[in-house]
Amino acid sequence: MGWLGLDDTDHLGGGCTTKTLDELIKGLPSEVNVGEVRLVRLWPFARQRTRGNAAVAVELNCENEEDLVEHLDLWWNEKISPLAGEISSSENYDRLQYPADPGMVWFSSKIPDSSFYYNAVREEVNLEDVPVAERNWGGQGIIGATAAVAWDKSEVTFEAIAWRTEKNTGLEKLRLIDLERLAEIDELEYTFMSRDPRTGNTMIAPRGPCPVLFGLRARKSEVAYDSACYLLESSSTERNSGMRVFTTNQASDDHLGDDLCDIVKETEILSRGAVVISCEENKLLAFSESGDIKLLAQWLIKSDKISFNGLKNEDGVYHLERLKIDNSSVLKERPHCIMCNVRMKSMGQNQPVRCPKCRTRSEQKWIETPRIPPTSEWVQAPLDSRRHLTRPLEWN
């Protein structure tokens, strides 16, 4: 019994690591028994990340490990190694691309410690830091492949992934999916991130030329499988070349540490409403697409005490994934002149304030007004702007 990990067989313009693994599994010798199949999302800021930043792994059982490794060796050389170096036209992508650099690992006598998985899901990991496998093939993809094997499954969800036919793979056109059936599936207790509740648009079908038809997520394996079958059986859903349920770390919050607290020093509202929050200890960023996070961030002023969580990027800035106000500061304003209704101004340090128009003075320097936050609860981004790894607040 052992674990096979695989990663980095795709690029921004095509390919799919889940499909590569599915083909590998279908090509295994008949005496090899397939156990759990998993998909693990990793640190999204990794420099040489794949398109979906997901690595895969599969549990394999057989009597003769030597024969299995020999088969994997041949499969690697014939089917996977040729994928190295693939890259798409850069004109449609803002992100710096690296050529595909597939990696595959085999662990049987000892599974790598889960600490390696948490490193790979929370920060940059280098090849020299990867635990040694019984057998490994390839390059940069070894990192993700090993992390998928090392995952400890502290929180699990499931994703039923269906793939397009060879005829449709590579086409930019939208996937054809029965939207009426998808609406029914979206109402089930254990499915999640199937449709955008604001627009009704599907959230299970990717764009672009990759071979994935859809990925249907659920908190129970049987719900993912049955729901995917229900979609695939419809004449309104395009033909497929297969489907498989993966155990995943999606919606686990594994990429995040403990919630943090800080005090706001100042905020800056950028174009499209994005907000930079400078705190006493940290710098935070609320993206324009982050919905309630952005709106709450725009409300903040100096001395507000907040709790937050999110991923820290390579520049040390937290990209907010949830935000809460613990204590709001009072709003301090200069009083208005009772004669002119003009806001008074300071005459200097330790001096009273004075009306700039009629020169009337006042010993009351400030008027303090309590501020009531829009909400005292945690807020997070809308469904279509969340990371795959983000756990919905309503599950807590």
CA 77 and chain centroid, separation: 32
Q: Return the SS3 of 374.
A: coil
Q: How many CA atoms does the CB half-sphere of 77 hold within 13 Å?
A: 6
Q: What 3 state SS string does 197-262 have?
A: CCCCCECCCCCCCCCEEEEEEECCHHHHHHHHHHHHCCCCCCCEEEEEEEEECCCCCCCCCCCEEE
CA distances to 179, 256, 345, 367 from 50, rounded to whole Å, are 29, 20, 57, 55
pLDDT digits (tens, 9 = 90+) for 186-241: 999 999 999 988 888 899 998 888 899 999 999 999 999 999 999 999 999 999 99
End-to-end CA distance of the chain: 36
**Domain limits, CATH 3.90.600, in the chain:** 157-248
pLDDT exceeds cutoff 50 at 251: yes
Q: Angle CA(107)–CA(109)–CA(142) in degrees, nearest 5? A: 20
pLDDT digits (tens, 9 = 90+) for 37-55: 999 999 988 776 666 689 9
Q: Return the SS3 of 286.
A: strand
Q: What residues contact 129, with CB distance under 8 A and at least 6 apart? A: 116, 119
Task: Please report, as a single letter, which amino acid is at residue 93.
Answer: Y
Q: Return the SS3 of 169.
A: coil
DSSP tag of 11 = B
The pLDDT, as a whole number, for residue 13 is 54
* Mean pLDDT (whole number) for 364-379: 91
**Domain limits, CATH 3.30.70.2200, in the chain:** 2-150
- Domain over 2-150 is classified CATH 3.90.470.20: no
CA distances to 145, 181, 182, 195, 355 from 202, rounded to whole Å, are 29, 11, 8, 5, 59
Task: Please report, as a single letter, which amino acid is at residue 98.
Answer: Y
pLDDT digits (tens, 9 = 90+) for 124-180: 999 999 999 999 999 999 999 999 999 999 999 999 999 999 998 877 678 999 999
Burial of 340 (0-12, 13-18, 19+ CB in 10 A): middle
- CB-based contact 386:380 (threshold 8 Å): yes
**Domain limits, CATH 2.40.50.1010, in the chain:** 256-383
Backbone angles phi, psi at 120, to 5 degrees: -70, -25
Give the C-alpha separation, 162 to 232, whole Å: 8
pLDDT digits (tens, 9 = 90+) for 268-313: 999 899 999 999 999 999 999 999 999 999 999 999 999 999 999 8
DSSP tag of 386 = S
pLDDT confidence of 257, banded at 50, 70, 90? Answer: very high
pLDDT digits (tens, 9 = 90+) for 66-121: 999 999 999 999 999 998 876 655 445 455 566 788 999 999 989 999 999 999 99
The pLDDT, as a whole number, for residue 210 is 86
Helix-, strand-, coil-residue percentages of the chain, each rounded to 5: 25, 30, 45
Burial of 388 (0-12, 13-18, 19+ CB in 10 A): buried
Of 157-166, 261-270, 344-353, minimum mean pLDDT range: 344-353
Q: Decide which of 2.60.40, 1.20.120, 3.90.600, 1.10.10 is the CATH code for 157-248.
A: 3.90.600
* Mean pLDDT (whole number) for 380-387: 92
Please indicate whether residue 172 or residue 354 has the higher confidence score (pLDDT): 354
Fold observed for domain 256-383: OB fold (Dihydrolipoamide Acetyltransferase, E2P) (2.40.50)
- CB-based contact 387:255 (threshold 8 Å): yes
Task: Please report, as a single letter, which amino acid is at residue 4.
Answer: L
Give the C-alpha separation, 297 to 348, whole Å: 32
